[in-house]
Structure 1
């Protein structure tokens, strides 16, 4: 399974995560007390560092690339910090990794890396989706099934995996990363010192043709939170956006925000802003929040973006 290609977006677009975080994040930055998100970390490790883990998702074809990335991470900072690694592979693919490749990774990471399998149930296209629409999306927009499945895994499942359950701080890296200088500090510790729960690379404008219905679906979700609780068809307790939700990160001006809250916004109101998260440090309380999970479930039922 190859994931090689341009930055992908699809019917399960990972941009959903970015939109959700824009609503969870306040206007400045997400702090420990913001919005009632749980921030009660488990005790620090024996070495005193935060309870964190570095993880990657890779196909068998990228094991060599991942090995080079791990060596770079170790050389630049993690041989000192000693964060553990979890290397995710889709169920049934781990067997394609040779014994020599496993030994090399074990040697580079000083035994701190483990492989974990992503269940097919969290990877394959859900049976509830119209398969013809999925194929049409691939034909019209492009990008492989594998890359699209990766986007969905990072949107709705990775933090629930047993291999990550014991960690509070989740540090995602891709197989093609490279640090060009030594890092004399602990990046996770820096996030904590800033009283933030999420760190990313940069913000840039996105394009709508790869996610044509994302904005309208997000607006529909926002409107669903404003409705009369007695009309709640999900039979779930009411939930609302935080008072300091950064709506104008996503929508163009007060008029765009107002239309979004009414469920009337679309691509014309969307700012197209996107956080790049190939290098992402997050606290699991973000992903476990009721608001985020409601949002993911809403988009998943709608067929994605």
Structure 2
């Protein structure tokens, strides 16, 4: 099928990737090109904290028929800020490793970059929409419609496929920074000592909270505590102007000032999820049930047999994470219906 160039959104396919991840990156890109982008010809942007090698760029460009750009992340957007107390941060990393927290000793620069900086990069600054793609993921169904145009035409801002629980040890004071309620101190006693005694974001900036928002997806007790539900951000189709907007910008600045990306391990998934749930209407968040996707160990397969047949899906709903005990999809469906 030829490329559809009659009407496209102002959108980009975006991957943050290391040179060493070339094989997995090629696998993801070739699948998405075959399953979706050969029909539409959207550009790709690849970002790295070090320069891409000639080998990476040559092999990647050879796998993509359309426009491709390679960018270096500015140092100030990637590395730990100088004002972070490294002794305190190192002690907390060591504790997470001792507690067997997944990526407990790593991952922080990437989480901070994806939370507050990727949409500012010069190579994506002029785009409105992005589809986040990671190395070594699988696209399990043909996508013969344009999800960017669907989002734009239906006033959506954020789309997801998988929604698990976050590991509580990575975000013990995140909800306190959002709501200001007392927070259970799981890692950092120094940081927790004042939790709940200060006015936090939603109290300081009530004007940013959207009417008919999805707060109830994030909490089971009216906002007292965070239930750890989040949209898994390794797959996102979303509006970068939403992240660039005043509400989310103020929110990220507030979180950044807390140091939780380094003193704990605040992930971009809960940060994006809280931002989307609070600053967008819940009807502006979309579950892409028709896009088959796998990021090991979790997989989403379209639930309806007709969709799976029409989209030539190579998956079974019996292996889907949707209604696994660790999935928050039931919670989302309940909140979305109300």
TM score, norm. by length of structure 2: 0.64
Whole-angstrom CA distance in 1 between matches of 2:29 and 2:208: 41
Matched, 1:211 2:179: no
Q: Does the CA-based 8 Å contact 2:178-2:201 persist in structure 1?
A: no
Partner of 1:61: 20
Name the Cα RMSD after superposition: 2.3
Q: Tell me what 1:93 maps to.
A: 51
CA distance, structure 1, for counterparts of residue 163 and residue 199 of structure 2: 23
How many angstroms does 1:240 deviate by? 3.9
| Deviation (angstroms), 1:133 | 1.9
Map 1:3-152 onto structure 2 (within 5 A). 47-90=6-49, 92-94=50-52, 97=53, 99-142=54-97, 143=103, 147-152=107-112
**Structure 1 gap ranges (5+):** 1-44, 228-236, 258-264
Q: Deviations over 1:137-179 (max 9, x none)?
A: 2212242776211110000001111100111111111111211
Say whether the 8 Å CA contact 2:128–2:240 is kept in structure 1.
yes
Residues 124/146 of structure 1: CA separation in 2 closer, same or farther (3 Å cut): farther
Match of 1:226 in 2: 203
Distance in 2 between residues matched to 1:61 and 1:144, nearest whole Å: 21
Q: Give 5+ residue unaligned stretches, structure 2.
A: 98-102, 181-197, 261-265, 267-338
Q: Which residue of 2 aligns with 1:178?
A: 138
In 2, the alpha carbon distance for the partners of 1:174 and 1:200 equals 14
**How far does residue 104 in structure 1 lie from its aligned partner after superposition?**
2.0
Counterpart position of 2:236? 280
Distance apart, 1:224 and its partner CA:
4.7
Greater relative CO (CA pairs within 8 A, separation 6+): 1
Contact 2:160–2:235 under 8 Å retained in 1:
yes
Residues 191, 225 of structure 1: alpha-carbon distance in 2 compared, 3 angstrom cutoff: closer
Hey, what does 2:214 align to over in structure 1? 246
Q: Deviations over 1:212-235 (max 9, x none)?
A: 1112121138745535xxxxxxxx
Taking structure 1 as the reference length, what is the TM-score of the superposition? 0.71
Q: Tell me by how many angstroms 1:193 deviates.
A: 3.9
Structure 1 position 181, deviation (Å)? 3.0
Alignment deviations for residues 179-237 of structure 1 (CA, whole Å, 9 cap, x no partner) = 1232222222232343311101222222311221112121138745535xxxxxxxxx9
Secondary structure (helix, strand or coil) at the match of 1:55 reads: strand
Q: 1:216 to 1:159 in 2, by over 3 A?
A: same
Equivalences, count: 236
